[in-house]
Structure 1
Amino acid sequence: MTDLGSEDSEWYYCAVEIVGADVRIEGFHLSVTPGTPELYVDQQEVTGVEGGSVIVNCYYNDTGNWKGWCRIGGSVSCVWGNSGTIDGTSVTLQQTTDATRSNVLTVTMSGLKTENTGWYRCELGDLIMPVHITVRRQTTTQSTTTMTTTQAPTTEQSSFSPTAEPVQTDNTVQGPEWGKEKDTMSSIDLKVLLVPLGMLVVVIAGVLVTWKMWRNHKDNKAMDQTTNTSVVGYTHVPLI
């Protein structure tokens, strides 16, 4: 129906005849008013994912009528007041005042299941506004995205992330394990330095001892030669 006027405000019926079954007739009253509708929503098609939630804002003018959220089809199930459940899914209703859009009934459905897919309606007294909700199964990509946004990344995850900032390592501030490793390395370096130094001292000591022995031997040999020379030059003169 297009180009509606106030004269189109009337009751209308939808009839469906199914072979082998009775004719089913559904009726509704269409109210056409000038200006802002008495009850309306931003979107009549809303999509959510399994396990998630959807929010529907119902805007209205008349605050005197009861307000609720119902599922259409089969046995009608409704939530009145502040909270309740529909088909095992949690539903909360919150009434607020919007300075630009008058009154708002915020409907939140949490813990969605695929069987929640279907038609619902905001109710304000005799006025209703239908909304269709589609609940899709959560894919692997959606699950990964959800986990990424709710779980804080570890150091390993940050280092492999393509969007992570480069990590600057400061070697001057390390934990106890690094200190132990540094002490071990220093001990090893000291041992490597001391071993050749000790060997050098032993070699020098050996050279000094050898030189001392050679010098003593040379001095003893020189003294022996002097003694022999003195004995050969002595002449015995017999006493008279």
Structure 2
Amino acid sequence: MTGRLQGRIAIVTGAASGIGKAAATLFRAEGATVVAADVTPGEDIVIADAGREEDVMRLVNSAATTHGGLDIFFANAGISGGLASIFEQTPQDWQEILRVNLIGPFLAIKHAAPVMKARGKGSIVCTASVAGLRAGAGGPAYSASKAGVISLVEIAATQLAGANIRVNAICPGLIETGMTKGIYDNARAAGKEDMIGHLNPLKRGGEPDEIARAALFLASDDSSYVNGHALVVDGGLSCSHPFYRQDYGRTAF
């Protein structure tokens, strides 16, 4: 099936690389007009900070005035913040990670929903993570921010009741992107590439296109009765509870 987004207008944040770039490419291939945004310059990229309200408002207004409306917002932009422990992170670390990862999707919903309502329908997709489901898959602030995204889409789905606007999240597992480059590079340098993703039943990491296809499903009418849901795309990682205890040095419990 092709043309699943024919005639739709979409915004994709974090679109200069990784999952966002793959999604923007796929959405266009399926017929959408895509406003691709990122803080990093790139081909066909609109420079915008997804965690800054003025920038999100500008993206939404641009879609409405230049293209006639907005049907899809893929709030994908995010930062990892590293794997430092709670006892090593600062309030400033948390503020920046939450600003991009959680306030960004909040702003997308806040400003996209009124424009979508005028169109009679819409789909908002937010990138969460398996790290937001349980501990062990990311740093403290990152994991908390992604748990917040999962809660946010549930709340937004209920507050938009009757507007015919669906709000869902995707929870990727280990995907090869700029955010995980260090993990992949270190494994390959050590000759342990076959260990990447070994904790999930598929025994491999994922590709950005595999998450982009999940985003396409949630953005399109194929998921017309899916709302307030966190779709896990992780090779089966979260069906079990793998756990690795880290030694945080001076702080022992």
Same fold (TM over 0.5): no
- TM-score by structure 1 length? 0.21
- TM-score by structure 2 length? 0.20
Bigger Rg, which one = 1
Higher helix share: 2
Higher strand share: 1
